[in-house]
């Protein structure tokens, strides 16, 4: 709930503070285990919910760049005078947003006021990307408790007709940021990192599965692929030749080489031989995505039931460490532990240093997805097969 201590005349700084607190307070909330639907930080304050502890949190990580993208997506149609620069936004996230007006300081909470650092620390992931722990994005917040005047003001400042957002558009939004009225032009881009997955959450001491394949998202239907290569798999390529010359001591980001014609076996062997620890895929394997595959799934439907299959390679089948919970609204939560992706592997008194780590990293994980409709949890059966496929079947709820 935003404070009633508002100054009489709205100023650009006042509007900036209002939007910062409104967006972070209503579109984000703590990622609490088994809490569905998620409640925003300000909704929890309004409802007087008790404080949560660290043990109740899911252990997820949100990249700071994702939060930045969402902010700039929401204010994309707003007047530049009410949009803060990227530098100022990051100050706000750290609780250091500067304003000389004491009333504004007490009226609008900063990010650490809503998400205490002891429960939501700012950290670096294993891939050296800035993350905030245990925070979840709520693209369609509950507005029943928000003051009508606050909703009206928010819509007027942002130009939005509704508070509901497209989750994918907000998380993938890219623009040259840092052009707000507070802090000058910085011309930084929040598009330098890929957004995190909304399916898989990693505890803080393990790597997010998407961190392993940030630049390897292959899109066989990419609209940018035209001409003779239309329909081929594509992925972001490395830096330009100029960039390579300017940074000879740095490793290149992952890249993909396109071949205009089908290579011979000898040509393919020569290409692989030119790489260090490289490998080639042929046949049906070449049609799939390269990298970690935990969490991919298929969902089927018949007259009275749903069937789903989840790919869980390298996941322990021990019932003490694996569970699948189904709620009546069709939400499915799978929890488990992966054992692959280690940097070293011991076998028969020998220790192997892994040259590649394309499998899922070791640690706890959770997968949350939604079935097409409501179900009857009492009529659920699941089977974890030795091929790494978990199959579940559940009856639909009677209408």
DSSP assignments along 78-104, one per residue: S-GGGPBPHHHHHHHHHT----S-HHH
State the pLDDT at residue 220: 34
Lowest mean pLDDT among 76-85, 187-196, 258-267, 288-297: 187-196
List, for residues 130-153, the tens digit of each pLDDT value. 999 999 999 999 999 999 999 999
Query: Would you list the DSSP string of 345-372?
Result: EEETTEEEE-S---SPPSEEEEEEEE-S
Can you give the pTM of this predicted structure?
0.47
Calculate mean pLDDT across residues 14-29: 94
Mean pLDDT of the chain: 76
Q: What are φ and ψ of residue 325, in 5° steps?
A: -115, 135
State the pLDDT at residue 4: 42
Out of 2.60.40.790, 3.30.70.360, 3.40.50.300, 2.60.40.10, select the CATH number for domain 297-396. 2.60.40.790
State the pLDDT at residue 231: 35
Calculate mean pLDDT across residues 89-106: 78
pLDDT band at 100 (very low <50, low <70, confident <90, very high): low
pLDDT band at 295 (very low <50, low <70, confident <90, very high): confident
What would the two tokens of residue 336 be?
């488990």
Query: Would you list the DSSP string of 225-284?
Result: --GGGTTS--------HHHHHH-TTSPPPP-----SSPPPHHHHHHHHHTSSS-----GG
CA distance 207 to 357: 12
State the pLDDT at residue 160: 95
Exposed, middle or buried: residue 42 (CB in 10 Å: 0-12, 13-18, 19+)? buried
State the pLDDT at residue 152: 96
Predicted confidence (pLDDT) at residue 260 exceeds the cutoff of 70: no
What would the two tokens of residue 246 be?
């300017």
State the pLDDT at residue 162: 93
Could you tell me the residue ranges of all domains in the chain? Answer: 12-198, 217-285, 297-396
List, for residues 178-222, the tens digit of each pLDDT value. 444 554 444 344 434 433 333 333 343 333 333 333 333 333 333
CA angle 193, 197, 200 (to 5 degrees): 140
């Amino acid at each position: 709930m935003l404070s009633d201590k508002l100054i009489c005349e709205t100023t650009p700084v006042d509007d900036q503070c209002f939007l910062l607190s409104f967006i972070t307070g209503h579109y984000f909330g703590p990622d609490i285990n088994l809490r569905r639907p998620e409640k925003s930080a300000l909704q929890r304050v309004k409802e007087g919910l008790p404080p949560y502890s660290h043990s109740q949190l899911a252990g997820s990580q949100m990249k700071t760049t994702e939060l930045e993208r969402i902010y700039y997506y929401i204010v994309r149609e707003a007047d530049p005078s009410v949009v803060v620069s990227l530098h100022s936004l990051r100050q706000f996230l750290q609780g250091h947003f500067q304003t000389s007006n004491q009333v504004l300081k007490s009226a609008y909470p900063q990010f650490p006021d809503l998400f205490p650092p002891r429960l939501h620390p700012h950290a670096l992931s294993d891939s050296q990307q800035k993350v905030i722990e245990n925070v979840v994005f709520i693209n369609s917040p509950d507005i029943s408790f928000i003051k009508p005047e606050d909703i009206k003001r928010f819509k007027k400042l942002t130009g939005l007709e509704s508070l509901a957002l497209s989750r994918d558009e907000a998380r993938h939004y890219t623009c040259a940021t840092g052009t707000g009225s507070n802090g000058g032009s910085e011309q930084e881009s929040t598009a330098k990192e890929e957004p995190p997955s909304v399916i898989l959450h990693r505890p803080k001491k393990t790597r997010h599965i998407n961190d392993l394949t940030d630049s390897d998202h292959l899109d066989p239907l990419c609209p940018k692929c035209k001409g003779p290569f239309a329909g081929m798999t594509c992925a972001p390529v490395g830096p330009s030749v100029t960039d390579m010359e300017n940074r000879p001591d740095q490793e290149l980001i992952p890249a993909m080489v396109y071949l205009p014609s089908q290579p011979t076996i000898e040509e393919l062997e020569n290409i692989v031989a030119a790489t260090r620890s490289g490998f080639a895929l042929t046949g049906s394997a070449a049609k799939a995505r390269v990298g970690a595959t935990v969490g991919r799934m298929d969902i089927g439907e018949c007259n009275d039931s749903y069937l789903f299959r989840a790919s869980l390679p390298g996941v322990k089948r021990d019932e003490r460490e694996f569970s699948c919970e189904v709620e009546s609204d069709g939400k499915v939560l799978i929890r488990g532990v992966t054992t692959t992706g280690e940097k070293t592997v011991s076998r028969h008194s020998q220790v192997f240093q892994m040259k590649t780590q394309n499998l899922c990293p070791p640690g706890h994980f959770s997968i949350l997805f939604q079935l097409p409709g409501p179900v009857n949890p009492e009529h659920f059966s699941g089977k974890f097969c030795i091929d790494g496929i978990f199959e579940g079947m559940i009856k639909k709820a009677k209408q």
